[in-house]
Structure 1
Amino acid sequence: MLDAMAALERITDPVKRARAMTRVLDELKPLAGRRGEVVAQLLARPGATLRSVGADLELHWTTVRSIRDSHLRKQEKTSD
C-alpha cells in the first residue's frame, strides 16, 4: 500500500496523478465498509466501549464513533 502511494506521488502530470488517485480511492471504498463491520463487531463484545475499541485500534474514540455511525447509516439504507 505504501509503495502504491509513493508511486502516485512520482506521477509528474497533475491530471494523471489525480486520475490515478481517484482510481485507487475507488478501489479502497469496500475496505472502509469492511472496517465498519469489524468496528461494529468489536463494539458488540461484552464490556466494549468506544474508548476501549479506540485503544485497541489506536484510534481516538470519536473516530471509532464516526466509523460505527457511518456503518449503521449504510446498514439502514440497505434495509429500506
Structure 2
Amino acid sequence: MLEAMAALDQISDTVQRARAMTRVLDELKGLAELRGKDVVQLLARPGASLRSVGDELGLHHTTVQAIRDSHLRRRRKAAEG
C-alpha cells in the first residue's frame, strides 16, 4: 500500500490520479477503524494505561487517547444512527 501511495504523484492524468487517491483514502479510513479497535482492546488489558500502550506502539499517550476517543465516538454515533 505504501508503494501505491508513493506512486500517486506519478499518475499524469488528473482524473485517474484523483480516483486513485480516493481509493487510497478510503482504505486509510478502514485502517484507522482497525487501529481504533486495536487500541481499545490494548487499553482493556489489566494494568494497561494510555502511557503503557503508547510506549508499546511508539505513540505519545495523548495520541493513544485521541485514537481511543475518536473510535468510541464513531461507535456511539453508529449505534445511534
Identify whether the pair has TM-score above 0.5, normalized to the shorter chain. yes
The 2-side partners of 1:21 and 1:11 are apart by 10
- Give the superposed CA RMSD: 1.5
**1:35-66 alpha-carbon deviations (Å, 9 max, x no partner):** 11110000011111111111101111111111
Contact 2:54 2:64 in 1 (8 A): yes
Q: 1:29 Cα shift?
A: 1.4
Give, in whole Å, the separation in 2 of the partners of 1:25 and 1:79. Answer: 24
Say how many residue pairs are matched. Answer: 80
AA aligned to 2:10 is: R
List runs of 5+ in structure 2 lacking aligned partners.
Answer: none
Structure 1 segments unaligned to the other structure (5+ residues): none
Asked whether 1:4 is paired with 2:4, we answer: yes
| CA apart distance, 1:67 | 0.6
Q: Name 1:62's counterpart in structure 2.
A: 62
2:44 counterpart letter in structure 1? A
Counterpart of 2:20 in structure 1 is 20
Q: Percent identity?
A: 69
TM-score (norm 1): 0.85
Q: State the alpha-carbon separation in 2 of the partners of residues 12 and 60 from structure 1.
A: 38
TM-score, length of structure 2 as denominator length: 0.84
**SS of residue paired to 1:12:** coil
